[in-house]
Amino acid sequence: MLYSRIKGTKIIRRISIPAAIFVYAFLIVGVASAQSQENIDINELVKKVDQIYRSKTSYAEFEMEIVTPRWSRTLLMDSWTEGTRRTFIRIKSPKKEKGVATLRSSNEMWNYLPKTNKVIKIPPSMMMSSWMGSDFTNDDLVKEFTLFEDYSYEFIQVEDAREDMYYINCIPREDLPVVWGNIVIAARKSDYIPVWQKYYDEKGKLMRVWAFSDVKNFGGRKIPAVMEMVPQNKEGHKTIIRYLKAEFDMPLDDEIFSLRNLRAQD
C-alpha cells in the first residue's frame, strides 16, 4: 500500500504490483463521500459537465485569441460536431490562416494546410500537442477522450471551497494516452455548469487552469460563452475562446465530415 501526505492529510490508494506506480498529489484538504454531497448522482454530474458543449449534432462560430508576452492573434472559425464521434473545424480569418481545417472521425484526425495543399494525418501521440500554437491541445478541440467514459471520479473537498459549488477529482484510466495525473473540476450546484477545471501532472503539479464564464443561452441551451486556458508553466500565456453563435441537434450533411471537405474553400 502506498500513501502520500498532502498538507497534513493522508491519501491512501491501493496499487497492484504489476501496475506502473504513480502517486497523485493535489491541493486537497480531504476526500468527501457522495453521501456528503447531498446524495447527488456523481455520474450524472460528470456526464453533464462532459456534454456541456456536446449534443447529437452542433454548429458553432467562435473566435480564439492567443496571447503570449511577445505577440497575440485572434482566429475566427466554424466548427461542426456529431456527438463525440466526429468533429470538423475550419479557420475563416485572418487571411494568413484562412482555410486551415481539422477533421476527426472516430479515433483518426487530419489537418489540412492550404499553403502547401497537404492533408496531414495526426498520430495518437500528437493528440496532446498544441493546436495552432494555442494553449489548447488537439484533444481539447476535438475531444477524443471523455471524462465520463475514460476517467474515474469522486467528490472532494478543496481549499477555499464555495458553498454553491461541487468539486470533483477525475483520474484517467491507466491505458489512456494523456499526460494528466488528475483533473479537478468545480461545477455550479444550481445547474452543473463548470466554472473551472485544473489539470495536474503525475507528480501533482498544477499545469493549467481552464476557466468558464459568461453563461449565455444558445439555441435553448445554457453554456459558458467564454473559455480561458492559462498554462501555469508559461508566464504571460493564455488562450481565450469566445462563442459567437451555437446551434444544437440540427440535421448535418454527412459530407461535412469527409476528407474531401478538408480541401473545400468558402
> Can you tell me the mean pLDDT for 4-8?
36
Give 32-49 pLDDT, tens digit per residue.
443 345 578 899 999 999
* Helix, coil or strand: residue 85: coil
DSSP characters for 90-147?
EEEESTTTTT-EEEEETTEEEEEETTTTEEEEEPGGGTTSBSTTSSSBHHHHH--S-H
Name the residue type at position 105: S
Which cell goes with 132? Answer: 495552432
Which alpha helices (H) appear in the chain, and where do they start and end?
42-50, 138-142, 147-150, 259-262
Give 56-80 pLDDT, tens digit per residue.
999 999 999 999 999 999 999 999 9
For residue 176, the tally of other CB atoms under 10 A from its CB is 12
* Helix, coil or strand: residue 199: strand
Give 122-148 pLDDT, tens digit per residue.
988 888 889 888 998 888 877 777 899
Question: Would you kindly state where each structural domain of the chain is located, as residue ranges?
Answer: 31-254
**Considering the chain, what is the average pLDDT of its residues?**
85
CATH superfamily of 31-254: Lipoprotein localisation LolA/LolB/LppX (2.50.20.10)
Q: How much is the pLDDT for 247?
A: 95
- The residue assigned the cell 506502473 is 20
